[in-house]
């Protein structure tokens, strides 16, 4: 059969940056501005937490934003998302 390549999220990110010139730092800055004050409390407390805004649900583990869900979504309990 035909082999179908799996394209990782990392590869897609680098493709967007290097082939299409997408400024990912701009998006990192936007996320920091979106959740900065709210996330500060969670970072101090530590462990997994989420920050809900009008634009999405930002899932964090300590000082790391590990994923972003659609607005109104519930924080996943999947441990693999908190790595």
Give 5-25 pLDDT, tens digit per residue: 999 999 999 999 999 999 999
Query: What is the C-alpha to C-alpha distance for residues 23 and 29, in angstroms, rounded to an integer?
Result: 10
Query: What is the C-alpha to C-alpha distance for residues 47 and 53, in angstroms, rounded to an integer?
Result: 20
What does the pLDDT read at residue 1? 84
Please tell me the least confidently modeled range out of 1-15, 35-49, 69-83.
69-83
Stretch 57-77: mean pLDDT, rounded? 86
State the pTM of this model. Answer: 0.77
């Amino acid at each position: 059969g035909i082999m179908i390549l799996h394209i990782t999220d990392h590869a897609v990110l680098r493709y967007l940056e290097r082939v299409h010139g997408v400024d990912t730092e701009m998006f990192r800055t936007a996320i920091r501005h979106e959740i900065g004050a709210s996330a500060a409390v969670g970072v101090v407390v530590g462990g997994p937490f989420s920050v809900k805004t009008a634009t999405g649900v930002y899932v964090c583990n300590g000082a790391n934003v590990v994923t972003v869900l659609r607005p109104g979504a519930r924080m996943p309990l999947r441990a693999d998302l908190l790595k």
